[in-house]
Structure 1
Amino acid sequence: MNSAKVWNEGIKYDTKNLAAIYSKTRNMQKFSRTIKVNCVNTDMIQVDNKNKKFNIVGQYMFD
């Protein structure tokens, strides 16, 4: 697992200040967890194989 891959795509609509972003990653998102082995807490760091995110942002200005 020596390579990480990222794919992003975004769109913005200026009139209404809306934006959407979609991203997909492979071998990039690290996470850790603590497990107990023989009554001893051990921290494990792992890499998530696949991850998908979808974000939508809306903005409104009050006059």
Structure 2
Amino acid sequence: MAERMVKACHKCRIYISIGNTYELMQKEQKFDREHRGHPTQVVRISEVQEYYKPADE
């Protein structure tokens, strides 16, 4: 099974889950607006989970 993918902001050290549901797409658009100009990247959750916090907290 494929690992869950997230979008991470390296400046703020937070991440959000990404996917193709309406709710996740809305959250991703909001994340993109709030972190415009910051270095962001789509990565596997295992790559950032222990170093970054979820944006929902």
TM-score bin (small chain): under 0.3
TM-score by length of 1: 0.23
More helix by share: 2
TM-score by length of 2: 0.24
More strand by share: 1
